[in-house]
């Protein structure tokens, strides 16, 4: 096995992904122990994932994400900013345009 593969396994998940997992767990009002029981892992393993001490295997990450109510998605790199913007907007619905600001897509001649 190439050395970079084994080394990457112990570097943990990126900080933003770990933070997202923690935030999702908190949003569900679950303790690490509760999430661990739902995933079928020991609580110490959830702690190690959240602190970056261990990177989970893909199937474990997929289970974690899905149990937390999310999914993994492959996004072409050029579209990442657009997808991140959509996710941000969906997380803060109050910051979007209100119904008063919306204009109809099609207008009738009578509207003038």
CATH number at 10 reads 1.10.260.40
**Predicted pLDDT at 11:** 74
For the whole prediction, is pTM greater than 0.85? no
Which range, 5-14, 18-27, 83-92, 100-109, has the best average confidence (pLDDT)?
A: 18-27
* Total tally of structural domains belonging to the chain: 1
Residue 68, domain extent: 3-72
pLDDT over 90 at 63, yes or no: yes
Length of the chain: 112
Q: Quick check: 9 and 3 in contact, CB under 8 A? A: no
Task: Encode burial over 6-41: b for 16+ CB neighbours within 10 A, e otherwise.
Answer: eeeeeebbeeeebebbbebbeeeebebeebbeebeb
Tell whether 96 is covered by a domain. Answer: no
68, with CB counted inside 10 A (0-12, 13-18, 19+), is buried
Q: Which of 53, 76, 42, 49 is nearest to 65 (CA)?
A: 49
- How far is residue 90's CA from residue 85's CA, in Å, rounded to a whole number? 9
Q: Is 82 a domain residue?
A: no
Q: Which residue has better confidence, 67 or 12?
A: 67
């Amino acid at each position: 096995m190439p050395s970079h593969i084994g080394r990457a396994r112990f570097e943990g998940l990126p900080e933003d992904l770990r933070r997202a997992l923690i935030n999702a767990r908190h949003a569900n009002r679950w303790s690490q122990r509760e999430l661990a029981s739902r995933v079928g892992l020991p609580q110490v393993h959830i702690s190690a994932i959240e602190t970056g001490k261990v990177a989970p295997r893909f199937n474990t990450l997929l289970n974690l994400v899905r149990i937390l109510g999310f999914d993994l998605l492959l996004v072409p790199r050029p579209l990442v900013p657009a997808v991140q913007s959509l996710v941000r907007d969906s997380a803060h619905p109050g910051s979007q345009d209100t119904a008063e600001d919306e204009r109809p897509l099609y207008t009738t001649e009578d509207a003038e």
